[in-house]
Amino acid sequence: MSNYLYILWIPLLPLATFVILGLFGRKYLSGIAGILGTASLLTSTILSFVAAKQYFFVDGKVNGIFQKIVALKYTWLEFSPNVSIDLGIIVDPISVMMLVVVTSVSLMVHVFSLGYMKGEERFATYYAFLSLFTFSMLGLILSANIFQVYMFWELVGVSSFLLISYYFNKPSAVAASKKAFIVTRFADLGFLIGILILGFYGGTLDIGLLIERFTSIHSTQFLSITSASFLGASMLTWGLTLVFIGGAGKSAMFPLHIWLPDAMEGPTPVSALIHAATMVVAGVYLVARLFPVFSMDETALTIVTYVGASSALFAAVIACTQTDIKRVLAYSTMSQIGYMMFALGISKNGGENGLGYMASMFHLFTHAFFKSLLFLGAGSVIHMVHSNEMKDMGGLRKLMPVTHVAFLIACLAIAGIPPFAGFFSKEEILTAAFHENKIVYGIALFTAALTSFYMFRLYFNIFWSKEATVAAHAHDAHTSHDDHSDHGEGPWVMKLPLIILAACAVGVGFVPFSQLVTSDGAALETHVDVVFSIAPVVLSVLAILLAASFYKNKNEKSDKVASAFGGFYTAAYKKFYVDEVYIFITKKIIFPFIGQPIAWADRNIVDGFMLLLAKTTAKISESIKGLQSGKVQNYALYFFGGVAVLSILFIYIWK
């Protein structure tokens, strides 16, 4: 077994960058902050590729099965000899795969930000936060202990909060960051309780041990957790469902998705990194990490399946109606994560039945590349147009050729057109769904068509539609922003990541994923069934043609269709009123009936008790303060009196 300890440096380098830039960045390093952050991340990226090569192709495999290797274990908090919180590094197919994804997407975003964020006043702070995020995400991936996962989980939440509210003088950004933090915190409460339930019955917080104990049907831990029940469901179901709620909060699954579209208030590269490619898939990763345990419980998996499938469909419908390009992408992210979730839900552990698991991880992998490409492309467009609204765009294909091609490739990839990356992973998901659950397959197929439609609606609206009015628009911007004059498509640091990611969006589909990442570590035979692929691809192409006929040239068709759908269109445009429901529940039910009574109790009972204590103390001290007269002879008198009393006591009473 060779040494994987160098993996420790992968998260530590961004941490060091965060500390350095956080402490000294604004004053001393603002000039080189971007270069410093990018350089340290480049090192991390190279290390993760080295680790991936070593693990997948040199020594990860023993007898044809990829091993779980614990590269580092350090007992941090020991509660009892059996229960301790360890810090560790776990090396297995999914963690190595995620390492590569996170570091490379993060690197692309770092490079892109060099151009996008140029001239920002808090440039160094931005890079410090990016490094903090990268550190936390890498730590989350490598965690060998479920409590360690939780700690990094929260750190990821904090850095997401900091980055969403990067433009902190914009009230909407502040509101969005608070919303993101509170909603995910709320979900994390479920996660924490879930961890405690699993830890209580499993007698350990170590992921490997937990899996080992809960997957053997005869172990005492498994028997105790399945025999204990609460409200008609076994504790295993409860624990896993609560853990899944945490994951659903982070991954923006319905109905905890409301924070994700608002989180688009952050800088666009941040959206690409956090709210598209890495942090939001943490929930999927968590379920995958604990998948052997999930596979022991049918109910929890069913919940995962239907939450995933309904989120996929729901978000896709909303995405068709939104006009803010980043919001369209946000809903598309939610929809794709829904795909990953239900793919996990319909999967079984091990062997041929583990296809869903492998497909989910594959989709996570390809999605990270094409979705970050979409976001960075959108960032490039926004950089040029200075607006997020579709109506301000159109005809940009000649003005930004590189972005145009990259965006088109990403759209084709997400639409699942061969040979782009999304085709392969989506194909695996659909195959798995077809074999396991026909209802989910139907939803998935319909969602795939919707995905193509809304992505190409976006594409045609940005790059075709009307003729480029942007030239004049951008010209106006020139007069007001002198530093932005002549920026055209942006500097090469903004184009380069687009080109690299576009290459990935084409190429990563050919990675022999089923050989590398499977539920049980053994290679899985998959083949692309041409007959099976016809239905989704034809549907996607039809959806693209439909989008082309609606939006390629400006016409009235789309408005007519929208009015034909009437109320349904309005509802989707208003995001099915989920936000309103939340506001109704919080403002009309929770605040007056729970919040205010608690506030009253706090003010009158808790505070009242404390005030009573304080007042009593004040009264007593008032009555005896005369003793402290300030007269030295009184003090001497007390002293001698005390000595006299003590001597009497010692002489006559305690002989």
Q: Where are the beta strands (DSSP E) in 517-563?
A: none
Q: Does 645 bind another protein (CB under 8 A)?
A: no
Q: How far is the CB of 622 from another protein (least distance, A)?
A: 10
Among 633, 653, 654, 655, binds another protein (CB under 8 A): 633
Q: Does 596 bind another protein (CB under 8 A)?
A: no
DSSP secondary structure string for all residues of 450-481? HHHHHHHHHHHHHHSSS---HHHHHHHHHHH-
Q: How far is the CB of 615 from another protein (least distance, A)?
A: 19
Among 602, 629, 646, 650, binds another protein (CB under 8 A): 629
With beta carbons less than 8 A apart as the criterion, state whether 218 and 145 touch: no
Q: Looking at beta carbons only, is 80 or 633 nearer to another protein?
A: 633
Q: Does 632 bind another protein (CB under 8 A)?
A: yes
Q: How far is the CB of 638 from another protein (least distance, A)?
A: 11
- 135: which 2 tokens? 């550190």
Q: How far is the CB of 640 from another protein (least distance, A)?
A: 7
Q: Looking at beta carbons only, is 65 or 637 nearer to another protein?
A: 637
Q: Looking at beta carbons only, is 609 or 640 nearer to another protein?
A: 640
With beta carbons less than 8 A apart as the criterion, state whether 333 and 275 touch: yes
Q: Looking at beta carbons only, is 605 or 644 nearer to another protein?
A: 644
Q: Where are the alpha helices (DSSP H) in 230-297?
A: 235-250, 259-262, 268-272, 282-289, 291-294
Closest CA to 56 of 508, 527, 501, 518: 518
Q: Does 636 bind another protein (CB under 8 A)?
A: yes
Q: Does 631 bind another protein (CB under 8 A)?
A: yes
Region binding another protein by CB under 8 A among candidate stretches 49-57, 190-198, 292-300, 627-635: 627-635
With beta carbons less than 8 A apart as the criterion, state whether 69 and 6 touch: no
Q: Does 640 bind another protein (CB under 8 A)?
A: yes
Closest CA to 437 of 312, 371, 571, 343: 343
Query: What element of type H or E holds 28?
Result: helix 9-28
Cβ neighbourhood burial of 115 (10 Å; 0-12, 13-18, 19+): buried
Q: Looking at beta carbons only, is 119 or 626 nearer to another protein?
A: 626
Q: Does 648 bind another protein (CB under 8 A)?
A: no
Q: How far is the CB of 164 from another protein (least distance, A)?
A: 54
Region binding another protein by CB under 8 A among candidate stretches 118-126, 197-205, 578-586, 633-641: 633-641
- Residue with structure tokens 């853990």? 243
Among 586, 617, 628, 647, binds another protein (CB under 8 A): 628
Q: Does 625 bind another protein (CB under 8 A)?
A: yes
Q: Does 646 bind another protein (CB under 8 A)?
A: no
Between CA 417 and CA 425, with CA 419 as vertex, the angle to 5 degrees is: 75
Name, in order, each residue with C-beta under 8 angstroms of 183's C-beta and a sequence gap of 6 or more. Answer: 249, 256, 258, 259
Distance CA 213, CA 106 (A): 36
Q: Does 2 bind another protein (CB under 8 A)?
A: no
With beta carbons less than 8 A apart as the criterion, state whether 449 and 542 touch: yes
Site string for another protein, 368-397 (x = CB under 8 A): ------------------------------
Binding-site ranges for another protein (CB under 8 A): 625, 628-633, 636-637, 640
